[in-house]
Amino acid sequence: METKKKDIRALTKEQLREFFVQQGDKAFRGNQVYEWLWSKSAHHFDDMTNISKQTRDMLDANFVINHIEVDAMQKSSDGTIKNAVRLHDGLIVESVLIPAKNRTTACVSSQVGCSLDCKFCATARLKRMRNLNPDEIYDQVVAIDQESRLYHDRPLSNIVFMGMGEPLMNYNNVLKAIDKITSPEGLGMSPKRIVVSTSGVPKMIKKMADEEVKFKLAVSLHSAIDEVRTSIMPFNATFPLSDLRESLQYWYAKTKNRITYEYVVWKGINDKRKDVDALVEFCKFAPSKVNLIEYNPIDDGEFQQANNEALDMYVNVLEKNNITVTVRRSRGKDIDAACGQLANKS
Ligand code: SAH
């Protein structure tokens, strides 16, 4: 049922303290409830055991806790877990737990669907329905942390914003969520273990740089030649490489944080020497490294992973130019949990 009650987690700690003072209670009660809502991740007011029944009922009459529900959980043969997450209004997003030898990474969504139109990405086929709220992003991380403890005997160690959506098109909420994730009153995680991945929205990259954020930046580059990039990522026509380049130089000047370029090599699209040469030039603009990621087919065969010779050429040329390059294998492909495969299929 649609409810008119306000989502209590939209309030800041200060607003919650004020609310209690207005109710004739102590401001400190706001701190207690805030702790339940965030670091203890309570789903119901009745979970708040050090709060009187009367106060819990009063909260229930005024607010809701719009908590996410993990609707379905799928486990891959390689240990990857994909959560279908139901939001309070019934919409679904996906998040993924990726286990590795010494770490567990959460891949979280920032929007329902996506506002961009990358031709190779399954999420792009869902139109953008809405932005996620900070608490909906935070809750995905909490759910993965719990699964990591349960199935892999260790807490979550890293977070990547590489699920559904373009994080910089939901900038304020993503930054608020990261504040909560890194705050001691939330999960207390280090921002250095968080990567925000963007297709490259120059204005927002500059804004982030101005705010001197401490998390890492990854850019889905895929081509350093405008015509090629526009043909596979049409929004590049609006935000061309020259603007992206300028914003990345600004980012590095302000944050001193090197940039990761994510890059898929496709047969017949960007597998030629001129493509590598353009990438090498682009990498010289600001300290950076390249992750060559495996293509995860999404259907009709329009895009195909380039052959090994092309990949070897990329690695050789980049290394000769002293650019760090890593070849990344995808995880969770058997459950459609790999990069670009998140499309609420099951
Ligand atoms: N919108 C953000 C984050 C989501 S995509 C961004 O563009 O960075 C996360 C990464 O997966 C991006 O690098 C994206 O280009 C890549 N990706 C998308 N579809 C893919 C596919 N089918 N196979 C491999 N990688 C893909």
- Quick: pLDDT tens for 250-289: 999 999 999 999 999 999 999 999 999 999 999 999 999 9
d(CA 340, CA 327): 17
State residue 281's pLDDT score: 98
More confident site: 301 or 297: 297
Stronger pLDDT, 195 or 1, i.e. the higher one? 195
Q: Is the pLDDT at 3 greater than 60, yes or no?
A: no
CA distance 159 to 141: 8
What phi and psi, each to the nearest 5 degrees, are found at residue 267?
Answer: -60, 130
**Residue 334: pLDDT band with limits 50, 70, 90:** confident
In the chain, the percentage of residues whose pLDDT exceeds 70 is: 97
| 124-133 average pLDDT score | 88
Per-residue pLDDT at 313: 97
303 C-alpha to center of ligand 1: Å? 14
Rounded CA separation 191/213 (Å): 8
For residues 40 and 78, give the distance between their C-alpha atoms in angstroms, rounded to a whole number.
Answer: 30
Distance CA 211, CA 120 (A): 32
Closest residue by Cα to atom 11, ligand 1, is 339
pLDDT of residue 1 exceeding 70, the answer is: no
Asked if residues 253 and 294 have their Cβ atoms less than 8 Å apart, the reply is: no
- Give the model's confidence band at 129: pLDDT under 50 very low, under 70 low, under 90 confident, else very high: confident
CA distance 58 to 60: 5
Q: Which residues are catalytic?
A: 94, 339
- What's the pLDDT score for residue 45? 97
Task: Indicate if ligand 1 lies below 6 Å from the C-beta of 197.
Answer: yes
CA 326 to ligand 1 center in whole angstroms: 16
Task: Reply yes or no on whether the pLDDT at 290 is more than 80.
Answer: yes
| Percent residues over pLDDT 90 in the chain | 84
pLDDT confidence of residue 23: 94
pLDDT at 336: 76
Over 90: is that where the pLDDT of 187 sits?
Answer: yes
Say if ligand 1 is within 6 A of residue 95 CB. no
Residue 121 CB less than 6 A away from ligand 1 = yes
**pLDDT of 92 above 60:** yes
CB of 262 within 6 A of ligand 1: the answer is yes
Calpha distance 315→78 (Å, rounded):
26
- pLDDT the model gives residue 94: 94
Ligand 1 proximity of 339 Cβ (cutoff 6 Å)? yes
CA distances from 270 to 107, 292, 296 (A): 26, 12, 16
Mean pLDDT over 294-320 rounds to: 91
- The residue whose CB lies within 8 Å of the most ligand 1 atoms, and thus the one to mutate among 96, 118, 121, is 121
Average model confidence (pLDDT) for the chain? 93
CA–CA gap between residue 341 and residue 298 (Å, rounded):
6
* Mean pLDDT, rounded, for 200-210: 97
**What pLDDT is recorded for position 345?**
64
DSSP-derived letter for residue 238 is T
Dist CA 220 CA 161 (whole Å) = 12
Q: Residue 233: beta bridge partners?
A: none
Q: What is the mean pLDDT of residues 84-107?
A: 94
pLDDT computed for residue 296 by the predictor = 87
Residue 126 above 90 pLDDT?
no
Query: How confident is the model at residue 232, as a pLDDT?
Result: 96
